[in-house]
Chain A
Amino acid sequence: MKIAVCIKRVPDSEARVKISADGKSLDEAGVKFVLNPYDEFAVEEALRRKEKAGSGEVVVICLGPAAAQETIRTALAMGADRGVLLQADTIPADPFETAKLIAAELKSATWDLVLLGRMAIDDYNHQVGVLAAELLGLPCVTAVSHLDIDGAKGVAEREIEGGIEVVEFPMPAVLTTDKGLNEPRYPALKGIMAAKKKPLEVKPVQAAAGKLEIIALTPPPERKEGKIVGEGPAAVGELVRLLREEAKVL
């Protein structure tokens, strides 16, 4: 099985968010970057599918700055075979531009399966997978939390409000992965050593400005100073009164 996995380098979810002097972007000084957690599910799924098939190749593709080589090495250490860095100083604010660059790279080969994460935890766009699939003309299922592939046919489950959808689709397909699909492995020491020798191709790319323009990045409004109503069950009466009379939610 030949599988492509698109991975993104994102700030760790614990990272403190400080806004740059331009008022539009994240100040990256001192921020730790990681492999997007949803993309870990995608890498893991690719590895399992390849292992099950007994042969194949898992290629990770990342659009990002030079430092994203480290993110690719993480996926290689998990077991991916080779990586491609589409190198750009900044990732476009418009996910359609990201999708175009990724789709162009994906077009250079034929794939049995293309995997991406459900969403990137920095921009919360949840769409690059769908946009890339549309550009490639491939069927797409999003937020997959369970997957069966039987030759040319796939069946996936995805969580919706109040239930689970069971979706059928033909292969090859583009799928985006959700939590629950698998338990991503940790790179073992042996994998980390091996990753250093795996091929990592760097291709400079130029992203267009796109049609979503960031005007400002601001801290979220401070929540109104809360209050400790009291301690223990004795505080319940006062809590209920405040919820009724002050917050008016009961």
Chain B
Amino acid sequence: MSGVLAVLEQRDGVLRKVSFEVATAARRVGTKVDAVVCSSPGPEACATAIAERAKSGGYGVVVFAATATGKDLAPRVAAKLGVAVASDVTDLAAEGDAIVATRPVYAGKALQKIRVLGKPAVVSVRPNIFTPDARASQEKPETLSVASPGRVVVREIKAAPAGMLDVAEAQVIISGGRGLKEPANFKVLEDLAKAFGGRAAVGASRAVVDAGWRPHADQVGQTGKTVSPSLYFAIGISGAIQHLAGMRTSKVIVAINKDKDAPIFKVADYGVVGDLFEIVPKLTDEIRKLHG
């Protein structure tokens, strides 16, 4: 089996958590894994550098993270290598000479198993699915140097307010829906998030994003983000199929809803039926006690 090229991500010089997942996924399909990062404000330049490295190194597999950056970069690299990306995969294995990948399709209502015949095979892995192994944290990637950024240039990154964790990266997500009744009530969920001490982010259903209560960046679901945290709270969310599309691969799902027949209870591991305004503050107290 030929080598595997793991394309890691960093921001402000620090490797992102998903990079360790990429390295871990890479080791599933090969023993010789080389890791690279590319830091250029131009995705075109990075794509050229990575494609050249993939070719000159004769790698059999190239692994990306299916993050906003990876989803943009992977197909640029793949096209230069004459193949497509097996994108957003949740499982990956080497079977003989080929790579076999599993990916959720149809809003997570089915899993597609595909054989990736391209040489190299280019895949991107869904964040929060591949648990980093012990070796991952020691990853020392080679930095690819890039001369000019190319035609497409990132001029600025408007960062989210400090201390705000992105739903796509949080270990715990507290999502709220129309059951919150009005935007100010999201404070109840923010308090619960705070009780988790920096590990939790507040998410939202599309109904409350469309109503302008919450930013689109917080939306979970088919037209929002796909998340797989360790713990997902759906609070005052009915559980429409398009919402489930974004969170059904979460490890543990808790639903709090006053309607005992709400579809969210069908996917929840634990459900509490009742008024969220009575239940959530109590829960916040209990979590605070644990962490305090």
Q: Choose among A142, A166, A220, A250 the residue that contacts B154 (Cβ–Cβ < 8 A).
A: A166
Q: Let me know if A139 and B116 touch, CB within 8 A.
A: no
Cβ proximity bits A159-200 to B, threshold 8 Å, 1 near / 0 not: 111111111111000000001100000000000000000000
Q: Are B157 and A19 in contact (CB under 8 A)?
A: no
- Closest residue of chain B to A15 (Cβ to Cβ) is B106
Q: B78 an interface residue at 8 Å Cβ cutoff?
A: yes
Known: A226-B268, A228-B271. A211 touches B83 (CB 8 A): yes
Report the minimum CB–CB distance from A31 to chain B (whole Å): 10
By the criterion of a CB under 8 Å from any partner CB, how many residues of chain A are at the interface?
81
**Selected contact of A161 from candidates B67, B222, B271, B286, CB within 8 Å:** B67
What's the Cα separation between A216 and B100 when bound, in Å? 11
In the complex, the number of residue pairs spanning A and B with C-beta atoms less than 8 Å apart equals 251
Cβ of B79 and Cβ of A130 under 8 Å apart? yes
A202 contacts B by Cβ under 8 Å:
no
B residues 124-172 near A (Cβ < 8 Å) are 150-160, 164-166, 168-169, 172
* A168 vs B84: C-alpha distance when bound (angstroms): 26
With A214-B114, A218-B110: A231-B274 Cβ-Cβ less than 8 Å? yes
Q: Distance in Å from the Cβ of B52 to the closest Cβ of chain A?
A: 15
- CA separation between A220 and B82, bound complex, in Å? 31
Q: Is the CB of A139 within 8 A of B286?
A: no
Say whether A250 contacts B290, CB under 8 Å: yes
- Chain A contacts of B1 at CB under 8 A? none
Classify the interface of chain B: helix, strand, loop or mixed.
mixed
Q: How far is the CA of A36 from the CA of B76 in the complex (A)?
A: 23
Residues of A within 8 A of B118 (CB): 211-212
Q: Is the interface of A mostly helix, strand, loop or mixed?
A: mixed
Choose among A135, A142, A214, A236 the residue that contacts B72 (Cβ–Cβ < 8 A): A142
Judging by beta carbons under 8 Å apart, are B278 and A232 in contact? Answer: yes
Q: Are the C-beta atoms of B158 and A166 separated by less than 8 Å?
A: yes
CA distance A179 to B222 in the complex (A): 11
B282 interfacial by beta-carbon distance below 8 Å: yes
Q: Could you give, for residues 10-33 of chain A, a 1 whenever the CB lies within 8 Å of some chain B CB and a 0 otherwise?
A: 010111110100000010000000
Neighbour of A240 across the interface among B68, B216, B223, B287, CB < 8 A: B287
Identify the 10 closest CB pairs spanning chains A and B, nearest first. A134-B79, A127-B75, A96-B84, A130-B75, A232-B274, A17-B109, A160-B68, A211-B118, A139-B151, A211-B117
The 5 listed contacts between A and B (C-beta, < 8 Å) are: A95-B85, A130-B75, A218-B110, A232-B272, A247-B269
Question: Which B residues are closer than 8 A to A by beta carbons?
Answer: 44, 67-69, 71-72, 74-76, 78-80, 82-88, 100, 103-118, 150-160, 164-166, 168-169, 172, 216-217, 219, 222-224, 230-231, 241-242, 245, 248, 251-254, 260, 265-275, 278-279, 282-283, 286-287, 290
A contact residues vs B (CB 8 Å cutoff): 11, 13-17, 19, 26, 37-38, 93-97, 99, 121-127, 130-131, 134-135, 139-143, 145, 155, 158-170, 179-180, 210-220, 223-224, 226-233, 235-237, 239-240, 242-244, 247, 249-250
Given contacts A163-B159, A216-B113, 18 further A-B contacts (CB under 8 A): A97-B84, A123-B105, A127-B75, A130-B75, A134-B76, A143-B68, A143-B72, A166-B154, A212-B116, A217-B110, A217-B111, A220-B109, A223-B267, A226-B253, A231-B274, A233-B278, A240-B283, A247-B231
